[in-house]
Amino acid sequence: MRKAFVIASILLLVSFALQFVFAAVGGFTKPAGEGAYALHSVNGMAVIPVLTLLTALFAALAKAPGRIIGLAALPIGLVVVQALLAMLANASTDAAGVSTPLGLTIAGLHAVNGIVAVHVVVGVVRAARQLDRPELVAAAPVTVREGEPA
């Protein structure tokens, strides 16, 4: 199960990386129609949640510490926040449907939350790898500089 945890967490990280690519595809599609962000939406609302649930399940089956299982499940909450931020950003337009400073600020928070989610998943991948191969972490040399406490 530890290998499955590693593989699922790596697939989740790849899906998050693709999420940024799909956002760029939507942002640079000309003319920008309703389907410009379709890949971004499907990946964010279907693929990432499924991979997150699988990663958390494999973490539990691999008998990972509770902190790591919680960390593996955290992207679900961040996806919910992402959806709320996107809805608020889209709803924060003026009467003519033009973006407002508030809406653009909320859209910026959507991007920041995505970056936070990637960092969480990087932590999950590291934890999964460490759980799968603890001897590699224990064997890593530690460099102590002269004058620093050991």
Per-domain boundaries in the chain: 1-132
pLDDT at 135: 72
Candidate from 23-27, 77-81, 93-97, 123-127 with smallest mean pLDDT: 93-97
Q: Give CA angle at 77 (74, 78), nearest 5°.
A: 90
Task: Indicate the average pLDDT of the chain.
Answer: 92
Q: Is pLDDT above 70 for 120?
A: yes
Q: What is the pTM of this model?
A: 0.85
- b/e string for 125-146 if b means 16 or more Cβ within 10 A? bebbbebbeeeeeeeeeeeeee
Q: At what angle do helices 101-132 and 48-61 cross, to 10 degrees?
A: 30
Q: What percent of the chain shows pLDDT beyond 70? A: 92
- What is the CB neighbour count within 10 angstroms for residue 148? 7
Contact of 40 with 23, CB cutoff 8 Å: yes
